Chains A and B, each alone.
Chain A
Amino acid sequence: MTTQAEIAPGVLQVTDRKSARAFVDTHIVPYADAYDRQGRVPEELLERMTAAGLWAPFLPRDTGGGGMDLVTLGEVHEEVGRGCSSVRSLLTVHTMVSWAVQRWGSPAQREQWVPALGRGDVLAAFCLSEPGAGSDASGIASNVVEKNGGWVLNGVKKWITNGQRADLFLVFARTATSIGAFLVPRDTPGVEVTPIEDVLGTRASMIAEISFRDVALGPDALLGPSGFTAGMVLTGTLDLGRYSVATGSVGIIQAALEACAAYASRRTVGGSLLKDLPLIQAKLSDMVTDARAARLLVAEAGRLKDAGEASTIMATWVAKYFASTAAARHASEAVQIHGANGCGHDYPVARLYRDAKVMEIIEGSNEIQRITIAGQAEREII
């Protein structure tokens, strides 16, 4: 068996924020703009992430995982998001599927997939969105029918992060009674992957459209319960994805802040450094404040997850809404601070600006989040 050290010599294990920051500064930050231009993350980095144990460190130790708590996982994802939102997106969808299999899988499903997902031997993608349905999951048209003791899947999924590279797809499709989650290996006959390129943001996250044409699946493809509780697989998985996107949004704010602080300390206007101009100071102070506030909201959501508290779901909605809108606002200001330099390839802020916009859309658009947050407030307060 190949050891992690043999896969990528010299790569240290990521166990916390500090080690994640060191990994990101060494292996991601110097190359993130190149990934963005190339539209993909190279295999070399994926292997280094495997060596660092980055793919699913939260999985239980008895499955080969690191047993990492979710507050720490959030800090790790924030650091990766600070370096590159595309890489963080790969982690997000892999995290969602790994968690779903661990949480909802049968003993046989867990045995088959969890250790491989934990090591990163198998990379996963989350397949919910379709050409005609995004945040409104009730609008999905993909369907499965029971046949010969198994299932037959038909449909098209779109905007699938890591769809170009993933080995395993978690596909949501209509059953006779509800929406079910199905584990579909990439090499199953009838699965066709079409890359989606030249997108606005997270350009290196290897997005794809995936068609499923009369895909025959065994009875063990269904993940979790059927019937009314099948929706919980989707709810729980999206909750963790939303948490990861929230942490990644904090990372974008932090990256914008660090880029602007460095630029403002060098660039002069009318004989003054940018950092000494009150209007620039105001922008930087707002970045500092929102980064801290967003980080606290994310940490609270993570703490509630670790405690198993049901209130984590709403806390995560709030954290993702706040962090993603703040990221979009501050990434825009970061471009503004950089002026024309912010519009080119010499500085990372244009990438941050494009990536931040995506954070307001994925894992539930911010409009959906505001409806949900307001609905909860109405029930509890009004």
Chain B
Amino acid sequence: MSANAKEQILDFVRARYPQAEIDETQDIFALGFVNSLFAMELVMFIEKTFEVTIPNDELKIDNFRSAETMSELVDRLSPARV
């Protein structure tokens, strides 16, 4: 699940920023990609793709820094899939 989730998340980020070279551990905030519009799109993408609802207390910057941390978030929110 995690590897697949990471790839799907990376595909989403790369589709928005095709010129960027991003791997699963890179901090997308450090790359300067994230504004409130993209953050909203990320949340919508994760909720739709992985059929989860992200509660307010999980909406922390560290959960969205990289494809890896986002896939870990997905795993936490969908334990049955792990």
Contact = CB atoms under 8 A, between A and B. Distances in A.
A104 B56 contact: yes
Contacts of B36: 231-232, 234-235
A239 interface: yes
Interface stretch (A83-91, A116-124, A260-268, A308-316): A308-316
The prevalent SS among residues of A at the interface is helix
Contacts of B40: 232, 235-236, 239, 310, 313
Nearest to A225: B59
Contact of A309 (B18, B42, B48): B48
A136 to B, nearest CB: 13
Contacts of A308: 44, 47-48
A48 to B, nearest CB: 35
Contact of A235 (B16, B17, B18, B39): B39
A235 B41 CA distance: 10
Interface residues of B, number: 25
Contact of A229 (B37, B44, B61): B61
Question: Which residue, of B12, B36, B43, has the highest number of chain A Cβ atoms within 10 A?
Answer: B36
B15 interface: yes
Contacts of A190: none
B60 interface: yes
A229 B16 contact: no
A380 interface: yes
Nearest to A311: B41
A227 interface: yes
Nearest to B47: A308
A345 B36 CA distance: 44
Contacts of B64: 228-229
Interface string B40-82: 1111110110000000110111001000000000000000000
Contact of B42 (A236, A239, A310): A310
Interface string A251-276: 00000000000000000000000000
A229 B48 contact: no
A106 B56 contact: yes
Contacts of B12: 310
B30 to A, nearest CB: 13
Interface in A297-311: 307-311
B14 to A, nearest CB: 11
A38 interface: no
Interface in A341-382: 372, 379-380
Interface in B11-46: 12, 15-19, 34-37, 39-45
Contact of B37 (A106, A225, A227, A313): A313
A180 interface: no
A224 interface: yes
29 contacts: A225-B56, A225-B60, A227-B61, A229-B39, A229-B64, A231-B35, A231-B36, A232-B39, A232-B40, A232-B59, A234-B36, A235-B36, A235-B40, A236-B40, A239-B40, A307-B48, A308-B44, A309-B48, A310-B12, A310-B40, A310-B45, A311-B41, A312-B44, A313-B44, A379-B17, A379-B18, A379-B19, A380-B16, A380-B18
Given A225-B57, A232-B39, 12 more contacts: A225-B59, A228-B39, A229-B59, A229-B60, A231-B39, A232-B40, A235-B36, A235-B37, A236-B40, A310-B12, A312-B44, A372-B37
